Amino acid sequence: MSTPAIKDNDVMYQKKYPRHCLFKLLQLRTNLKAKPDIYRVEMISREGEKILIGGRKTTQEAIALYRDIATLSAAEVETAFSNMA
């Protein structure tokens, strides 16, 4: 019996933000139940609230979105996404 290459709810990439930042983490994770967009890029607030930034169908699209956000500084992330928290 073979196991699937992609498991549901796996964290593929994660970036942690400093304590003073409004957000704790940026994550790229799988969500196989939400087809066709099986990849989720989400911010995790200090309170543990998950905020969906975007869902993507392919690994390449998801990684591109994740990297675009991951290149921002903590201050830029707060400015861009604080209204979502």
Per-residue DSSP letter, 85: -
Q: How far apart are CA 46 and CA 34, in angstroms?
A: 25
Tokens of 82: 């604080």
Which sequence spans correspond to the domains of the chain? Answer: 11-84
pLDDT in tens, the chain (85 residues): 555 677 888 999 999 999 999 999 999 999 988 888 899 999 999 999 999 999 999 999 999 999 999 999 999 999 998 888 6
CB 61 within 8 A of CB 39: yes
User: The whole model's pTM is what?
Assistant: 0.86
Q: How far apart are CA 25 and CA 35, in angstroms?
A: 24
18 preceded by cis ω (within 30°)? no
